[in-house]
């Protein structure tokens, strides 16, 4: 069974640009969650999508958005990048309706210059 795939693995952008990150969950999983990991703030929940609908949202500005496609693949977008957006962005694939074991991808390392 293939794991969670995140692309790209590394990105370098400049302030003001926008970026799109992709996550393909484990086959059969319908829910995807996104997290931001930084040394200062730790791991913070961004949002969760279930069957193409945003189910939950964290405390991030509107520059952070996401979507989910019918095949459960998810994308997150960050517009007008700021230096503070430099982080490891992790995607979690949630199995079934219980969420009692979430499988994380390797992450996308975003550097904003």
Partner 1 sequence: AQSVAQPEDQVNVAEGNPLTVKCTYSVSGNPYLFWYVQYPNRGLQFLLKYITGDNLVKGSYGFEAEFNKSQTSFHLKKPSALVSDSALYFCAVRDPNQGGKLIFGQGTELSVKP
- DSSP per residue over 81-101, as a string? --GGG-EEEEEEEE-TTT--S
Tokens 């086959």, residue?
27
Alpha-carbon 27 to chain mean position: 17
Using the contact rule CB under 8 A, the part of the chain among 12-20, 59-67, 75-83, 99-107 near partner 1 is: 99-107
Sketch the per residue contact string, 45 through 74, with partner 1: x for CB under 8 A, - otherwise: x--x-x----xx-x----------------
43 binds partner 1 (CB under 8 A): yes
Supply 54's token pair.
């945003």
Q: Point out which residues bind partner 1 (CB under 8 A).
A: 4, 6, 31, 33, 35, 42-45, 48, 50, 55-56, 58, 90, 92, 94, 99-107, 109
């Amino acid at each position: 069974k293939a794991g969670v795939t995140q692309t790209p693995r590394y990105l370098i952008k400049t302030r003001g640009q926008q970026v799109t990150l992709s996550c393909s969950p484990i086959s059969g999983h319908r829910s995807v969650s996104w997290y931001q990991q930084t040394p200062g703030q730790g791991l913070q929940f961004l949002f969760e999508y279930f069957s193409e609908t945003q189910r939950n949202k964290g405390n991030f500005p509107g520059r952070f958005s996401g979507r989910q496609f019918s095949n459960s693949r998810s994308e997150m977008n960050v517009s007008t990048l700021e230096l503070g957006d430099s982080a490891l962005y992790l995607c979690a694939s949630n199995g079934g309706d219980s969420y009692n074991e979430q499988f994380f991808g390797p992450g996308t390392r975003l550097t904003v210059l």
